[in-house]
Amino acid sequence: LSNFLEANAAMPFPAMEVARSPHLPCVPVDANATDSNSATDVLDLWRQQKQIPAPFVWPNADARPSSMLELDVPVVDIGAALHSAAGMGRAAAQVAEACASHGFFQVTGHGVDPALARAALDGAADFFRLPLATKQGARRSPGTVEGYASAHADRFAAKLPWKETLSFSHNHDDVGARGNSHVVVDYFTSALGDDFKHLGEVYQEYCEAMEEASLAIMEVLGMSLGLGRGYYRDYFADGSSIMRCNYYPRCPEPDRTLGTGPHCDPSALTILLQDGDVDGLQVLVDGAWRFVRPKTGELVVNIGDTFMALSNGRYKSCLHRAVVHREKERRSLAYFLAPREDRVVRPPPSPAPAPRLYPDFTWAELMRFTQRHYRADARTLDAFARWLDPPTCSKLL
Ligand SMILES: C=C1C[C@]23C[C@@]1(O)CC[C@H]2[C@]1(C)CCC[C@@](C)(C(=O)O)[C@H]1[C@@H]3C(=O)O
Ligand SMILES: O=C(O)CCC(=O)C(=O)O
Ligand SMILES: [Fe+2]
């Protein structure tokens, strides 16, 4: 399939590009999917019936039902937590309750300048309006996470997400990033050219603000698990994080597709900034998909698989997705905090000998698994554990 939505730019919504390249060497789970729709058939179907192309149609179980229910998430004041014992006590209790159940909470007092958040969201809007050729100049290389992607059509043959993404690394060392790191600026100028230096500077500053907010949240998580403020702050101080800009175009059949399919984040912690008042994020709680609606000035935080393993399953990495709309496009910025690539992910020694739920692993191994072998979904960590240490017949007998 190639550029078939671009060929319909006249349609009443912004075109979205799908440029297909050969499958990755280690073909992901869609290996058995066949690209049966020729571009011509799909084009005709699209023109006549304005039906979204088959590769974008998701099974009912994934795409429906959508409720108008809202998830009641606690609003944690990170600023108060860092500046008073009482504030820390309250914040630790709030995150303990949220993370032991659905793993989602909102944060205020995070210190991120609203003007910087606005600049990062506007920068994403500007980037995704660029001509396809410019965006493709930064396209994601197979097996890596950095770069521009459209519907992941270069990776998957079915259940394509109705989104474009731009992802880049923010590896932060532990000597304090503010002002002396330029890893993000360098990515933008090398991948897109010197004209994008300013955009790179905006995201460099945004990523550093996200890093500081995530380490502050780690202090609260450490206290909530009785490990002290420094335990996880030190563990993630030299982390290798990923920034991802999501763009969800308007869609003529929003109930038949998804912006991002049901999944648990493989990373440790996600900080999500949603643009404006366009809902999209839903979390599966008590059998229903519940919105976590954007609230001005608040960031949405969720635990990922790597933190669930670090806590030996005490804190939950939960299933969530992003729905799309007929009349509204949507943008979100996701900052995925991850450990340094070679750091071993292992829960702290516990007084009560508890059975280990997951094997030791490194973030490098989990990243490689999701980028080359497995499409992250609801069971990534279990599939990863089997991939790391496949049960042999002798063990099963
Ligand atoms: C480690 C990662 C893989 C994905 C990006 C991320 O950094 C964290 C979230 C993951 C993802 C968004 C989960 C849903 C499926 C996915 C393929 C996507 O829709 O983008 C995942 C990302 C990926 O690029 O593999
Ligand atoms: O865009 C959203 O609201 C959620 C995106 C998400 O879950 C992700 O990129 O991992
Ligand atoms: Fe996610």
Model-level pTM? 0.90
Say what percent of the chain tops pLDDT 70.
Answer: 84
User: Does some domain include residue 27?
Assistant: no
* Lining residues, ligand 2, CB within 6 Å: 244, 246, 260, 265, 272, 280-281, 320, 322, 332, 334
- Closest ligand by atom to 266 CA: 1
- Closest ligand by atom to 330 CA: 2
193: phi > 0 → left, psi -120 to 50 → alpha, else beta; which?
A: left
- CA dist., res. 367 & res. 374, Å (int): 10
Question: What is the greatest pairwise CA distance in the chain?
Answer: 66
- CA dist., res. 320 & res. 142, Å (int): 25
Q: What is the pLDDT of residues 139-179, one digit of tens each?
A: 999 889 999 999 988 888 899 999 999 999 999 875 555 55
Is 290 annotated in the active site? no
pLDDT of residue 354: 84
Ligand 1 nearest-atom number relative to CA 336: 7
Q: What is the residue range of 239's domain?
A: 55-387
Alpha carbon 345 to chain centroid, angstroms = 19
CA 320 to ligand 3 center in whole angstroms: 6
CA 359 to ligand 1 center in whole angstroms: 22
- CA dist., res. 168 & res. 180, Å (int): 18
Nearest CA to ligand 1 atom 2: 266
- CA dist., res. 172 & res. 229, Å (int): 19
ipTM for the complex shown: 0.99
pLDDT of residue 143: 87
User: Does some domain include residue 5?
Assistant: no
CATH assignment of the domain containing 362: 2.60.120.330
CA 237 to ligand 1 center in whole angstroms: 23
- CA dist., res. 171 & res. 142, Å (int): 20
User: Does some domain include residue 50?
Assistant: no
pLDDT of residue 49: 58
User: Does some domain include residue 78?
Assistant: yes
CA 333 to ligand 3 center in whole angstroms: 11
pLDDT of residue 65: 78
Q: In the chain, which residues have pLDDT < 70?
A: 1-49, 174-180, 392-397
- Closest ligand by atom to 317 CA: 3
User: Does some domain include residue 48?
Assistant: no
What contacts 198, CB < 8 A, 6 or more positions away?
none
| Contact status, residue 168 vs residue 146, Cβ threshold 8 Å | yes
Ligand 1 nearest-atom number relative to CA 371: 25
| Contact status, residue 148 vs residue 140, Cβ threshold 8 Å | yes
**Strand, helix or coil for residue 54:** helix
What contacts 393, CB < 8 A, 6 or more positions away?
none
User: Does some domain include residue 192?
Assistant: yes
- CA dist., res. 189 & res. 197, Å (int): 6
Ligand 2 nearest-atom number relative to CA 270: 10
User: Does some domain include residue 116?
Assistant: yes
User: Does some domain include residue 33?
Assistant: no
How many domains is the chain partitioned into structurally? 1
